Chains A and B, each alone.
Chain A
Amino acid sequence: NAGVMQNPRHLVRRRGQEARLRCSPMKGHSHVYWYRQLPEEGLKFMVYLQKENIIDESGMPKERFSAEFPKEGPSILRIQQVVRGDSAAYFCASSPTGTPSYNEQFFGPGTRLTVL
């Protein structure tokens, strides 16, 4: 049973370009979460999605960031017009159906985004 998959593992973009980060949850998991970890900090929640629905995006920056979890395929975190401050590790997590807050979330290996 494969764990949470994220790709790419490393992504380098120049300022102003777009970054697309992909996440495939564990089999049987329908809840997906995106977190960002800036250097020397803990993980910070960005967005929580279920299939075709954004449930909670309270941690998402208001501009340039968007997320989706289509009926088919992986969840995508999209960052438009990247800036140097977007450089961070982006982690995706998934949890099974039920009450997400009482289930441990299983994390992927992360995508390390570097903006030049």
Chain B
Amino acid sequence: DQQVKQNSPSLSVQEGRISILNCDYTNSMFDYFLWYKKYPAEGPTFLISISSIKDKNEDGRFTVFLNKSAKHLSLHIVPSQPGDSAVYFCAASAGLAGANNLFFGTGTRLTVIP
């Protein structure tokens, strides 16, 4: 049962343009969401997070938007750079429900074309 879904396995974007990565979830108990970036042969690296009490969080070129009613979040990267090419994982947590673990999506491979 995949509670966090990333329906686009891959995305290609021209350098300098905006990259939008999408994520949907099914569990209404999720109250904390994170994005991780992963390079080949490395572990995931934390990128940005958002609590369910917010609908937007921004950190430099990265912005995460949360739409609770649609159970949808997105990561915007602008401007995209070739070094952003990696697999991006969306993750969610149900902390208030006492959950200890993160639920991950299957990832979206972003390729930024120079």
Contacts and interface: CB of A to CB of B under 8 A. Distances in A.
A100 B42 CA distance: 22
B104 interface: yes
A43 to B, nearest CB: 4
A72 interface: no
A91 B44 contact: yes
Interface in B94-114: 94-95, 99-107
Contact of B94 (A6, A35, A101, A110): A101
Interface size class of B (residues with CB under 8 A): 20 to 34
A13 B36 CA distance: 30
A91 B41 CA distance: 11
A104 B44 contact: no
A43 B46 contact: no
B95 A45 contact: no
B34 A104 contact: yes
A7 interface: no
Nearest to A110: B43
B49 interface: yes
Nearest to A37: B104
Nearest to A10: B41
Interface of A: 4, 6, 33, 35, 40-45, 48, 55-56, 58-59, 91, 93, 99-102, 104-110
